[in-house]
Amino acid sequence: MFELGRFIEDCRSARAEGDCHKAVREVVAKAVSEPSSVFAALGEPREAGFEKLYQGPDLTIINFTWAPLMTLMPHNHNMWAVIGLYAGREDNIFWRRTPGAIEAAGAQALTCGTAVALGREVIHSVTNPIGKMTSALHVYGGDFFAPGRSEWDPETLEEQAFDFDKSRRLFREANRRFSAAAEHAT
């Protein structure tokens, strides 16, 4: 049974291990292997957004929910990350730096119950390609909200400072589109 306090403590303990992002991945994989238990503890998502579950200088845990067909521009974390899906699907495009921009270098589709570790240098964009909400636990090996991260313009692929306000607007816009589509369907 997923219990948030225990999950946070297990992630913190795993963070203290030598190969910490792999140890954290095991904690997250165990949690998302029982999606109904995560829903029971965190509640059924009603809209896209992110909820900070834990924040410290060496570890951040966030519950992300992506609206149907929502895409977040390419971005980096400048720290390792572990993503564990407990609802829906998440498609990742991985990018590599080129002189002045980035280019696509690979992709991975994550499904409910999967957990993956991303290295410190990874640049990725995220899309929810399905018609329902996608939810995931994200664990980062540092303070996710500290400055110094980058995002890339989705049209020009030029690097710029990560803008949390822009990300919040993207989530709000995705919620408006989802609500409008739901109203239109009824």
Dump pLDDT digits (tens) for 51-90. 999 999 999 999 999 999 999 999 999 999 999 999 999 9
- pLDDT value of position 103: 96
Which CATH superfamily hosts domain 4-185? Jelly Rolls (2.60.120.10)
- pLDDT value of position 17: 82
Question: Rounded distance, CA 151 to CA 124, Å?
Answer: 9
State the average pLDDT over residues 78-104: 95
- pLDDT value of position 186: 64
State the average pLDDT over residues 143-152: 95
pLDDT digits (tens, 9 = 90+) for 151-180: 999 999 999 999 999 999 999 999 998 888
- pLDDT value of position 100: 84
DSSP 184: H
Beta bridge partners of 65: 49, 135
- pLDDT value of position 79: 96
CA angle 51, 129, 1 (to 5 degrees): 45
Question: Rounded distance, CA 59 to CA 79, Å?
Answer: 10
Judged against a pLDDT cut of 70, whether residue 35 lies above it is answered with yes
State the average pLDDT over residues 23-31: 97
- Identity at 7, one-letter amino acid code: F
